[in-house]
Structure 1
């Protein structure tokens, strides 16, 4: 920790950190013995290595998860027991919030000021789903057949394969782990090859919490090897994925080979709609939170800002002024306001989209370049970039950039705003900024989005379902609905006195 007024977090200086995978409560190397590098996006240097898991490692993890589900200790633990384990895991996450946060920051360049808050909130996911673990029940159904009792039970699916993206590994793992474990499933989790460290740190806490062998397994590796093997494995009964829509399509195709269920939280091009009666200062902060927080690397990023034509110039001026004050720097410094893009490939992609926007005729009002100062030149930084004069049919307005790039689009009236907002293949999130409560609810009802915020942006809770419309996904995470995504319904019939006189008559 710095002795100045700033607070700078650091990892212990122990050289390149060597990780192992976590399968069946054992820490092991990959079958091939190969490793891959994790690069700190602020320094551009390798800081950790993880095992290069492939199909053989996935198969070993799935077999361990299947055995735990069918015959292991886990198969005999009831909802109350699962709840106790989830609560213990939540306690440990809270106690280790700092190391978890630092690991993720060094892996993907997110801000420590954001990640500390996030890791300290993660126990809430464990506690919420622990509270549901012993409340998963079916229904008693009054059927129309005399002397018959009919009831349903909800049962776990079995082995769940979870594929986690690089932008928020811990949070998006808890989105899946909480309901899956509460419902009684077992899991094989594959982190992104960009960010393996924080989930392997989480695995240490899983072990310490006392989860039986095989319940939670973490296999590191690349998507086209380990990830592909996980999606194709015949013993995986459900696949839960967060990432790009293109990869989501591949997962659906692979899952169809063995009829695995899927839940997909995919891309977005979310509209942030500013009406002429909005509190402009608040709306400017909301736009900053929606696109420049996490360097725009969030599926729900408010990457299209629709502004009423009567306030467009005033709003744009305020947004540019506030954006010019954003402090880029070391993500582990609490005073830094925007960190890096997570890795070199994504960095190049974002810069290429800025070139595309300029070629399409959009005007760069701020940013648009890679910083060259001594502090920033080695990191994968992109200046917070604002495009003005954007038309909704431009590529920068239709394709997910996943970086700190925002498109400003004028609209005339409510109908025009809805037309522009819904004119996209995506439908993950949206926001409406207005003091007119009737308009706010009208807009919320007509926007094609799984989440709509009114006078705020980028808020999520373990209690509220989250997911997308259209190309933004299938299914919902968080809330009671998430638990149902990890269960299957069995209908049970009990005859209390009927005599079968005609075996060939069903009804």
Structure 2
């Protein structure tokens, strides 16, 4: 399988002919060869997007017609669910069931923003000046650079592509260089539908060669990035060159608070799902478990029992519950955190190593892991590991749980499990996070905004505000009875 860049309506090789092998994390087989774009490719794509925006063809297309094209993209995704899911599982190692679910969610994202495309006709506001009208309108921001992570390649791309197109912008998409398969496929669907040349461009390659030029270019009006915090800080610095708008989602260290009065079996099951879904490679993973002291030991005992039975394997095997980690480098990072946790004095209750199963030796597998006797000052409690590693802390009061939960630089998401609705509401108000779940973990949907507090980033994706991120606000004032001012007689 050969993957190319898509620039100005054409599939093209990288200008310097660079190539990257894409491998299956389950067995390290080569599944594709991808163009390795550089600054030159990125500048060519930026120029195409700039021309397409400035010539006005897309931005001046009636919003209802743009919405119809975005809706057709959703229909194409629905029609290609099995192929897209297969590519996603090949690329990431996640289970085929999860990949199918992702594709249905992705189609719904396009349908949602298609429906919003023509719903904002502006807002008339009362003018204090006689004989005048005053209106607030939203207009597309311009050329958008979009940079997505490897853990949810097409889902994260959809959260950016759908609102940008619906709002009338042009764009350059840079997927993760190690998981580009489904993003390339969706750009093929764009071409089938007839998205105008230059409106949506795709450049494959690294952050240094492709992402950095997007951030630095004075012809790019917005950069939307999902990924690591250090890269996010670099983008912020680079974006200052033309004070471009940026939207950042930079991960989290998400607390899951369980009170004694919660339904025990449900809370255990949800805690497992919170941290081990997709091998913990989820920005909102519930990797910090806070359990009320009175049930702590019983809860941990059940967690350890259940975690040790999680079935690792090939994502295409319907019996598999969790696949491999994404790469050898990423697994090595997780392993370093195991050493750090032990050095800090945490107790390794289960996991902490690679599996011994012969059929898993070629993949980047790592056993579900639980650390107990953790304290808030430990690096394994403070830093995002992004793997199947759970830290457990005990608490006595709601206020102590809140203090522990808020005690990181992150503020993406968190959950509270309790049957006391007043307690649930109290805790949810106090948590400094963009999303709080009560008696659940992980649900998201197109209608609700997603994003973080603190160093988890700023800006929102999804929801009505997710469309507004791709617009500028303009105030239009009209004097209906113009007269000389007479100030300078």
Judge same fold: TM > 0.5, yes or no: yes
2:201 aligned to 202, 217, 220, which one?
A: 217
Partner in structure 1 of residue 276 of structure 2: 292
Partner in structure 1 of residue 70 of structure 2: 86
- Unmatched segments (≥5 aa) in structure 1: 1-16
Do structure 1's residue 35 and structure 2's residue 10 form an aligned pair? no
TM-score (norm: length of structure 1)? 0.95
Q: Distance in 1 between matches of 2:118 and 2:488?
A: 41
Q: Distance in 1 between matches of 2:266 and 2:487?
A: 71
Given that 1:160 and 1:185 are in contact with CA atoms closer than 8 Å, whether structure 2 keeps it comes out as yes
Do structure 1's residue 475 and structure 2's residue 464 form an aligned pair? no
1:275 aligned to 249, 253, 259, which one?
A: 259
Do structure 1's residue 20 and structure 2's residue 11 form an aligned pair? no
1:76, distance to aligned residue in structure 2 (A): 3.1
Do structure 1's residue 452 and structure 2's residue 436 form an aligned pair? yes
1:335 aligned to 319, 342, 353, which one?
A: 319
1:90, distance to aligned residue in structure 2 (A): 0.4
Given that 2:67 and 2:114 are in contact with CA atoms closer than 8 Å, whether structure 1 keeps it comes out as yes
1:66-107 CA distances to partner (integer Å, 9 max, x unpaired)? 111121532331111111101110011011111111112111
Q: How many residues are matched?
A: 489
Q: How does 1:12-411 map to 2 (within 5 A)?
A: 17-71=1-55, 73-411=57-395
1:45, distance to aligned residue in structure 2 (A): 2.4
Q: Distance in 2 between matches of 1:226 and 1:504?
A: 54
- What is the DSSP-based 3-state SS (H/G/I as helix, E as strand, rest coil) of the residue aligned with 2:436? strand
TM-score (norm: length of structure 2)? 0.98
Q: Distance in 1 between matches of 2:487 and 2:236?
A: 42
1:387-422 CA distances to partner (integer Å, 9 max, x unpaired)? 111111100000000000000110111010011000
Q: Distance in 2 between matches of 1:502 and 1:439?
A: 64
Q: Distance in 1 between matches of 2:485 and 2:324?
A: 75
- What is the DSSP-based 3-state SS (H/G/I as helix, E as strand, rest coil) of the residue aligned with 1:410? strand
- What is the DSSP-based 3-state SS (H/G/I as helix, E as strand, rest coil) of the residue aligned with 1:75? coil
Q: Distance in 2 between matches of 1:156 and 1:478?
A: 17
Q: Distance in 2 between matches of 1:325 and 1:400?
A: 24
1:125-153 CA distances to partner (integer Å, 9 max, x unpaired)? 11100000001232111121111211121
Q: Distance in 1 between matches of 2:176 and 2:187?
A: 15
- Unmatched segments (≥5 aa) in structure 2: none
Given that 2:93 and 2:324 are in contact with CA atoms closer than 8 Å, whether structure 1 keeps it comes out as yes
Q: Distance in 1 between matches of 2:84 and 2:6?
A: 17
Partner in structure 2 of residue 9 of structure 1: none
1:154-212 CA distances to partner (integer Å, 9 max, x unpaired)? 10011110000000011111111111111100110001111111111111111112211
Partner in structure 2 of residue 10 of structure 1: none
Q: Distance in 1 between matches of 2:477 and 2:376?
A: 55
1:468, distance to aligned residue in structure 2 (A): 0.1
1:504, distance to aligned residue in structure 2 (A): 5.5
1:372, distance to aligned residue in structure 2 (A): 2.5
1:191-234 CA distances to partner (integer Å, 9 max, x unpaired)? 11111111111111111122111111110001111111111111
- What is the DSSP-based 3-state SS (H/G/I as helix, E as strand, rest coil) of the residue aligned with 2:432? coil
1:305-360 CA distances to partner (integer Å, 9 max, x unpaired)? 00000000111111111111110000121210011111111110001101111111
Given that 1:287 and 1:302 are in contact with CA atoms closer than 8 Å, whether structure 2 keeps it comes out as yes
Quote the RMSD (CA, aligned, Å). 1.1
Q: Distance in 1 between matches of 2:405 and 2:485?
A: 62
- What is the DSSP-based 3-state SS (H/G/I as helix, E as strand, rest coil) of the residue aligned with 1:277? coil
- What is the DSSP-based 3-state SS (H/G/I as helix, E as strand, rest coil) of the residue aligned with 2:444? coil
Q: Which moved more, 1:489-498 or 1:277-286?
A: 489-498
